[in-house]
Amino acid sequence: MSYVTVRNDARLKKLLQEIFTDEFMQQHTNFENFTYFCYSSAVITNWEADPMVYDEDLLNRFVQESTEFDTFDNMVRTATDARFGQKTRKDE
């Protein structure tokens, strides 16, 4: 098991609500909105806790089963790009 700890302050909560729009959730997941996603994954993590602690593998399996993404990180990146626009990167 690989546990992740995240400082889940008001700023992060607001950001997650902003990037996971209803439109995004309906297009890419089995959920109507991010609230339903959080409710369904409440056995994995407490989305209101600070700090928020979760088993990364377990959350990723949940994401794989209920969204079109393979990891929660990819879901976050895609939602961020959709909300704020993809930034071009110089060749690394």
Whether 9 is in a domain gets the answer yes
The pTM for the full model equals 0.87
Whether 35 is in a domain gets the answer yes
Whether 78 is in a domain gets the answer yes
Number of domains in the chain: 1
H/E/C letters for each residue in the chain? Answer: CCEEEECCCHHHHHHHHHHCCHHHHHHHECCCCHHHHHHHCCCCCCCCCCCEEEEHHHHHHHHHHHECCCCHHHHHHHHHHHHHCCCCCCCC
pLDDT digits (tens, 9 = 90+) for 3-51: 999 999 999 999 999 999 999 999 999 999 999 999 999 999 999 999 9
Whether 91 is in a domain gets the answer no
Query: 50 lies in which domain range?
Result: 3-84
